[in-house]
C-alpha cells in the first residue's frame, strides 16, 4: 500500500506530566486523544481535561512519492 495514514496528537505539559507526541495508525474518525494516547498518562478524573489540551491531526502521505522525490533530489 503506497498510502501511509496516521493520527498525530501533540499534548502539552499537564500538571506533573511532561508534554508528549503520540502517533497511531487509526481511521480518520478515530483520530482523537481517547483513541491515540496510550497509555493514558493521567488518572480517570483528569482524562477529559488532559485530552482537551491535546491537538490531534489526521495525516496521509504517499511513501512512493516521497521515495521518488528523494531519488530525484
Q: Over the stretch 40-57, which tens digit does the pLDDT of each residue have?
A: 999 999 999 999 999 999
Question: How far does Cα 51 stand from its chain's mean position?
Answer: 12
Per-domain residue ranges of the chain: 7-72
> Which residues are CB-neighbours of 29 under 8 A, at least 6 positions away?
none
pLDDT at residue 3, as a whole number: 58
- Return d(Cα 26, Cα 59) in angstroms, integer: 10
C-alpha cell, 44: 480517570
Report pLDDT for 2.
Answer: 42
Q: Which long-range contacts (CB under 8 A, 24 or more apart) does 45-50 make?
A: 46/14, 46/15, 49/14, 50/11, 50/14, 50/17
Amino acid at each position: 500500500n503506497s498510502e501511509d495514514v496516521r493520527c498525530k496528537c501533540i499534548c502539552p505539559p499537564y500538571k506533573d506530566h511532561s508534554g508528549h507526541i503520540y502517533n497511531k495508525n487509526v481511521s480518520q474518525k478515530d483520530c482523537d486523544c481517547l483513541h491515540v494516547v496510550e497509555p493514558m498518562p493521567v488518572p480517570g478524573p483528569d482524562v477529559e481535561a488532559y485530552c482537551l489540551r491535546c491537538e490531534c491531526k489526521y495525516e496521509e502521505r504517499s511513501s512512493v512519492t516521497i521515495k521518488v522525490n528523494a531519488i530525484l533530489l
